[in-house]
């Protein structure tokens, strides 16, 4: 089950955290992974970890908010008849603050990565998938697209857009062989979280880690590998009847 042998996969934001976990797991299941990240060293590190374990991977530096960069990336990956069987739109950035504490510049910065970046990559992938007879797009949304989360105005807005974009793509291409779903995680323990706590709560990291963990009724944050397991199911042939769906993976947040 969940065999991706022969599947060509693009994972954005693959340099760390959830993206890196997805890239590694998909490679273990037989996929050829293109690890894409804005930071070339991080993308290369993920690809090296995969190839060092016997998998197949390449690394690519790309700012997903840049139309020219995204166009060049997909031209490279699809040249000479190359396939794009799976696209995982994982790249994203965060912002903390209510609408009062969100400047137009803040909103534009988060929107360009979290929404425009997903649009650009999906828009580049869809024609390739249509030519080859189908494919899978998986977007990374958030529980913030399903419920209100305090002090996350800009982030929630963008993730809500990801969810509705997911459903729109699913409906438009359901008869043409392309499935599109999204995952809606609660807090996940990634290097971003550690950096955020160190920057904003120096000396109080352990206290704030407990606060963030306790937000999930299960009493902890998720782990990147747990998100990757759900991503694997949704991108595999075992999920061939699933499209247009938003999957919470949240430790019980949306259940209470």
Q: What is the pLDDT of residues 124-134, one digit of tens each?
A: 999 999 999 99
Provide φ and ψ at 39, rounded to 5°: -95, 110
| CATH superfamily ID and name for 8-186+224-250 | NAD(P)-binding Rossmann-like Domain (3.40.50.720)
Active site residue 247: no
Ranges of each domain in the chain: 8-186+224-250, 188-221
* Closest among 50, 162, 55, 39 to 110, alpha carbons compared: 162
pTM of the model: 0.96
Provide φ and ψ at 149, rounded to 5°: -120, 125
Q: Which helix (H) or strand (E) holds 34?
A: strand 32-37
Q: What is the pLDDT of residues 97-140, one digit of tens each?
A: 999 999 999 999 999 999 999 999 999 999 999 999 999 999 99
Please tell me the distance from the alpha carbon of residue 70 to that of residue 57, in angstroms, as a whole number: 19
Q: Which of 111, 119, 155, 173 is catalytic?
A: 155
Q: Which residues contact 19 (CB under 8 A, 6 or more apart)?
A: 11, 12, 13, 35, 37, 46, 88, 90, 91
């Amino acid at each position: 089950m969940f065999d991706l042998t022969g599947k060509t996969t693009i994972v954005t934001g693959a340099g760390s955290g959830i993206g890196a976990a997805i890239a590694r797991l998909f490679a273990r299941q037989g996929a050829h992974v293109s690890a894409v990240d804005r930071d070339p060293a991080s993308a290369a590190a993920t690809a090296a970890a995969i190839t060092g374990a016997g998998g197949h991977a390449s690394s690519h530096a790309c700012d997903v908010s840049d139309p020219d960069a995204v166009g060049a990336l997909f031209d490279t990956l699809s040249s000479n008849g190359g396939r794009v069987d799976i696209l995982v739109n994982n790249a994203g950035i965060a912002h903390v603050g209510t609408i009062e504490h969100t400047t137009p510049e803040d909103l534009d910065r988060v929107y360009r990565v979290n929404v425009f970046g997903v649009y650009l990559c999906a828009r580049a992938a869809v024609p390739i998938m249509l030519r080859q007879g189908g494919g899978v797009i998986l977007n990374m949304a958030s529980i913030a697209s399903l419920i209100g989360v305090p002090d996350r105005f800009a982030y929630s807005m963008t993730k809500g857009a990801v969810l509705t974009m997911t459903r729109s793509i699913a409906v438009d291409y359901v008869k043409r062989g392309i499935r599109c779903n999204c995952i809606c995680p609660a807090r996940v323990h990634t290097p971003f979280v550690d950096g955020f706590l160190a920057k904003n709560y120096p000396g109080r990291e352990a206290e704030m880690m407990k606060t963030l963990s306790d937000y999930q009724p299960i009493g902890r944050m998720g782990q990147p590998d747990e998100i990757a397991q759900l991503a694997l199911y949704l991108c595999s042939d075992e999920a061939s009847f699933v499209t247009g769906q938003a999957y919470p993976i949240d430790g019980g947040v949306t259940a209470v």
